[in-house]
Amino acid sequence: MRSCLLFLLLTLSIGSQASACPESTQLALALKQLNGVKTSLDRARTSANTDPQARYYFDYPQAQRDLATVEQGIQRYLTPSRAQPRAVQPLSASYQREHAND
């Protein structure tokens, strides 16, 4: 009973800390976790037993591409490209006319 209560308190405190962190911090953490997933995926691929009789194979290259897509999306969100300033047209600074209809 006591360990269940301790577990519940720890879970609630971790959940409240996660919600107190800004979104950018949470997304940066997600990027670190994605790097860990990619490393684990590489290890799984190198240790995979590719049995020629197997009916299904795990598509490691596709999983890596999907992880890269997610990673790029988070990075683009965290560091958006800034709009470049437009070229400013020079002012004529000549407002005097000789005739009203010119």
Instruction: Report d(CA 15, CA 60) in Å as an integer.
Output: 33
pTM: predicted TM-score of the whole model, two decimal places: 0.58
25-78 pLDDT, tens digit per residue, is: 999 999 999 999 999 999 999 888 777 787 788 899 999 999 999 999 999 999
Q: Minimal CA–CA distance to 46: which of 64, 22, 32, 70?
A: 64
d(CA 30, CA 36): 10
CB atoms within 10 A of CB 63: 15
67 vs 22: CA distance, rounded Å: 23
